[in-house]
Amino acid sequence: MTIPFLTDHYTRLKNRQAAREEFYRDVIHGLTASSKSLSAKYFYDAEGDKLFQRIMQCPEYYLTGCEQEIFEHQVQDIATLICNHTSDFDLVELGPGDTAKSGYLLGELQARGIDYTYFPIDISESIIQTLEKTLPLKFPGMRVEGLPGDYLDMLKEAKLRSDKQKVVLFMGASIGNVPPQEALGFCKALRKQLSPGDLLLVGFDLKKHPQVILDAYNDKAGITRAFNLNLLKRINRELGADFNLEQFVHYPMYDPETGSCKSYLVSQREQRVHIGPHAIHFAQGEPMFMEISQKYSLTEIQQLAERSGFRSFEQFQDSRHWFVDVVWRCV
């Protein structure tokens, strides 16, 4: 039997325990592999959420401003596109963060008298709790059903809760955090959770001057560095590890040939870090891969849509053509 409302208190506690076990397994798996890595989805604890808000305000982090411009100036076109396509739908958002940009669309749909349920899906429970509290105050009458957990699992849950057509938002260039060799599989998995006619709006960061890109992930104030190191702090706190943060340097790099911007934490010296029964050895200069932010061309985006079972419907760019929000329709 399906549990109808996964968000009840008991189920959230059970989910929290399962999430902690998964966190431990993923960390050990990543740090005992021949090339060490940590999964970027674990950046977002309550402190990570705050640091990401500060990254978005950094002058170098152009991505937010670009997508903000798109939503501020083109939200009516986006809303019209959606409303001309379907009149009865649920709005699902994958990784909403603070909804500063998607909020334009939430407000516009409400102003048009569209009756929809908003399902924010986020791995950060604190984000879901905040949105459940604040959105009904900001948009009186809006139905908000927060789904704390991983994108694909919770998209499945949203489908179980309601069989209405889905309009799914996946903004902020979060698709770029999926390694390019896995992006096709990820889009196919998204498509599998959706039905013909459903819409998916995805924000992609476009290829541009390499220095502009690198600077965005290497802000002068050091917030991105703190954001990366915060994951080590989280592992210390939640999994009882003994990372010495001062022994790791943050190193971002961008390769314009592949479009991959990658962040590493590099061990300053030979050391051992303990997590439960594991003693993880780091050689001096050994990198730990933290996050990828893949940049795309319009052609690559088009190919991704076609190969994963979507058809391009419309696209919205900022005035500098640095960022694009594409709307894909499930075929």
Ligand X SMILES: C[S@@+](CC[C@H](N)C(=O)[O-])C[C@H]1O[C@@H](n2cnc3c(N)ncnc32)[C@H](O)[C@@H]1O
Give, for 49, the enclosing helix (H) or strand (E).
Answer: helix 46-57
What backbone torsions phi and psi does residue 4 show, to the nearest 5 degrees? -70, -40
Amino acid letter, 223: I
Of 6, 24, 60, 96, which one interacts with ligand X (CB under 6 A)? 96
Token digits for 284? 């001096």
From 73-81, 95-103, 259-267, 281-289, span contacting ligand X (CB under 6 A): 95-103
For residue 27, the number of C-alpha atoms closer than 13 Å in the C-beta half-sphere is 26
Q: How far apart are CA 108 and CA 221, in angstroms?
A: 35
Question: For ligand X, which is the closer residue by CB, 122 or 286?
Answer: 122
Cα distances (Å, whole numbers) of residue 288 to 45, 72, 96, 209, 262:
20, 38, 27, 26, 11
Kindly indicate which of the ranges 70-78, 89-97, 155-163, 282-290 contains the residues binding ligand X, using the contact rule CB under 6 A. Answer: 89-97
Site string for ligand X, 207-246 (x = CB under 6 A): ----------------------------------------
Show contacts with ligand X in window 14-73 (CB under 6 A). 41, 44, 52
Site for ligand X in 252-291 (CB under 6 A): none
Give the count of residues interacting with ligand X (CB under 6 A).
17
Helix H, strand E, coil C: the string for 48-108 is HHHHHHHHHHCCCCHHHHHHHHHHHHHHHHHHHHHHHHCCCEEEEEECCCCCCCHHHHHHH
CA-based end-to-end distance of the chain: 30
**Contact between 158 and ligand X (CB under 6 A)?**
no
Under the binding rule (CB under 6 A), the answer on residue 174 touching ligand X is yes
By the rule CB under 6 A, 139 interacts with ligand X:
no
For the CB of residue 94, give the shortest distance to ligand X in the complex, in Å: 6
Stretch that binds ligand X, among 21-29, 107-115, 170-178, 191-199 (CB under 6 A): 170-178
Stretch that binds ligand X, among 1-9, 84-92, 168-176, 267-275 (CB under 6 A): 168-176
Distance of alpha carbon 86 from alpha carbon 246, whole angstroms: 53
Question: Which residue from 263, 216, 208, 173 is spatially nearest to 60, judged by alpha carbons?
Answer: 216
Strand partners, 168: 92, 200
Report if residue 97 touches ligand X, rule: CB under 6 A. yes
Indicate which single residue of 27, 30, 62, 95 sits in contact with ligand X (rule: CB under 6 A): 95
Minimum CB separation from ligand X for residue 210, in Å? 21
Binding mask 104-123 for ligand X (x = CB under 6 A): -----------------xxx
Q: How far is the CB of 113 from ligand X (least distance, A)?
A: 26
Q: How far from 331 is each of 168, 182, 202, 308, CA to CA, in Å?
A: 15, 21, 16, 10
CA 327/CA 10 separation, integer angstroms: 37
The residues binding ligand X (CB under 6 A) are: 41, 44, 52, 95-97, 101, 121-124, 127, 150-151, 171-172, 174
